[in-house]
Amino acid sequence: MRGLDKGIICVVALTLLVVVMPVGCSDEQKKNAATIKRGLAEPIRIEISDANTHKNINLETIFDSVTFVPLSNAPKAAVSGINQAIVIDSTILILDRYGSKSVKAFSLAGEFLADIGHRGRGPGEYIEPTMMEVNPCKEVVIWDQFRQQLLHYDLGGKYIKSREYPFFSMKFHEFDDNNLMFVSLNSDNKSFVKDYSLFVSDSLGVVSKYGLYRKKNTYETILYDHDFFEKNGDVFYHPVYCDTVFRINGNFVAEPYCLLDFGKKTVPERLRDIRNRKEIRSEQSGDRYFFMIGDFYMSDNHLFFEFLRSHHNYRVLYTKSKDKAIVFNATSGFFPVPFNNFVGSTDNAFIGYFFPVESIRRMQGLDLNNRDVLEKQFGKRMTDLMCSMKNDDNPILTFFYPKSEW
């Protein structure tokens, strides 16, 4: 398979999706346990080279437009950051994992609609909401890693049900009520998921499958907000520093979906071993290897990644229909909206956010009282935003819409 030769490190080490067993099962049960099978589809290959890399790019050449949604400044709407954003029908769901530790619902115009659950130790409450998703019934499902439970709410924030599980995880996906996939951390669940990244459980917490081999206490464990998510019924997962993104379908068949081909810049296996952490940090400062970091994003026709090169973040925008990628470092265009802090995607856009104080700093030196000049340079919509922002405002969501070709 042509798509696997240069990504052989990650593919061989991580896609042998193997056998799993219920917690505490016998050796005989282990032999008879179900398996997460390995698919044979050839992945999308995206070649990264100096030929398609731009140190600076005007975003207006690769994005049709950017729209922005200032989130309400009502006291109940306050968040100190955004880790995940989901748009469902006319509702925007926001997860603030570290600050307010909450999930909130907003309208498409940014008006505050409801809290989805509340912090606490009572029924229907959570302590550490670490991930959310919306199931086919349009229920908001939240994983509370502290209490090891999944909580279901409707889009108005009304509590529906919850279930506890006898293991630790940071990420999850409900294929259905009785088949759930979880991501296991290096130090977690050592009694039954010692050497694998993913495992499947039923509604009672009985583990039936696991996969993506990762020898315990060998591979680096780094947490990212968007390295595991569902789209169109499939789960997509990117192991840290790996050049491959994997897709797992509802039949628990896993296959390489996308490979970033760094050629001679591919990170060797030894640099994914935590015992070589000092060498890893040293190499990240140089230009010998490109480190694909965890987060990636997907719209219907585009993929968006980031990787580290000489301690600088480079972005990759890939158009599926044209099989074409562009790589860039610094950006200009759409002033004063920054191109960073991505937290999700829709069918045709990538979702980011920024705090107004960031843009206010960028606008120093502009005469915000001279609207005629500003509108001539930036347009009315952007001028309205620039003149309305205050330092202590809630974050502003950004929706970047890629062009079909450039």
The shares of helix, strand and coil residues in the chain, as percent rounded to the nearest 5, are 15, 40, 45
Number of residues assigned to the chain = 406
- 127 or 189: which leads in pLDDT: 127
Question: What is the mean pLDDT of the segment spanning 130-146?
Answer: 96
Q: Mean pLDDT over all residues of the chain?
A: 83
Phi, psi of 210, deg, nearest 5: -150, 165
275: three-class secondary structure by DSSP: helix
Angle at 142 between CA 138 and CA 146, to 5 degrees: 170
**pLDDT number for residue 217:** 57
**pLDDT number for residue 8:** 34
Dihedral sign for Cα 195, 198, 203, 209, please: negative
Rounded distance, CA 327 to CA 329, Å? Answer: 7
Please, are residues 308 and 290 in contact by the beta-carbon 8 Å criterion? yes
Q: Tokens for 29, please give them.
A: 């049960």
User: Looking at the whole model, is its pTM more than 0.75?
Assistant: yes
- 230 pLDDT band, cuts 50/70/90, is very high
Angle at 379 between CA 401 and CA 313, to 5 degrees: 45
Contacting residues for 122 by C-beta, under 8 A, at least 6 apart: none
Q: Tokens for 158, please give them.
A: 């009304």
Q: For residue 168, what are the domain limits?
A: 2-402
Domain total of the chain: 1
Lowest mean pLDDT among 35-49, 55-69, 107-121, 370-384: 35-49
Rounded distance, CA 323 to CA 398, Å? Answer: 26
For residue 7, give the H/E element and its range.
Answer: none
**pLDDT number for residue 17:** 43
**pLDDT number for residue 7:** 37
- 15 pLDDT band, cuts 50/70/90, is very low
The pLDDT of residue 76 is above 70: yes
Question: What CATH number should be reported for the domain holding residue 295?
Answer: 2.120.10.30
- 271 or 6: which leads in pLDDT: 271
DSSP 59-101: GGGTEEEEEEEEPP-SGGG--S--SEEEEETTEEEEEE-SSS-
Q: Tell me the one-letter amino acid at 281.
A: R
Rounded distance, CA 361 to CA 364, Å? Answer: 6
**pLDDT number for residue 32:** 32
Rounded distance, CA 227 to CA 14, Å? Answer: 15
**pLDDT of 157-204, one tens digit each?**
999 999 999 888 889 999 998 999 998 765 455 555 567 788 899 999
DSSP 98-119: SSS-EEEEEETT--EEEESSEE
Q: Tokens for 301, please give them.
A: 């026709």
- 18 pLDDT band, cuts 50/70/90, is very low
**pLDDT number for residue 223:** 64
- 285 pLDDT band, cuts 50/70/90, is confident
Burial label, 338 (beta-carbon count in 10 A; 0-12, 13-18, 19+):
middle
Cis peptide before 336 (omega within 30 of 0): yes
Q: Tokens for 322, please give them.
A: 């044209």
Rounded distance, CA 76 to CA 179, Å? Answer: 35
**pLDDT number for residue 316:** 93
Dihedral sign for Cα 73, 77, 78, 83, please: negative
Helix axes 380-388, 371-378, angle to 10 degrees: 130
Please, are residues 131 and 95 in contact by the beta-carbon 8 Å criterion? yes
**pLDDT number for residue 185:** 66
The pLDDT of residue 129 is above 80: yes
**pLDDT number for residue 19:** 33
- 112 or 21: which leads in pLDDT: 112
Burial label, 62 (beta-carbon count in 10 A; 0-12, 13-18, 19+):
buried
Q: Tokens for 316, please give them.
A: 């990759």
Rounded distance, CA 361 to CA 354, Å? Answer: 12
- Please choose, from the candidates 49, 52, 37, 36, the residue with its C-alpha nearest in 3D space to the C-alpha of residue 6: 49
**pLDDT of 21-50, one tens digit each?**
333 333 333 333 344 555 556 889 999 877
The pLDDT of residue 1 is above 60: no
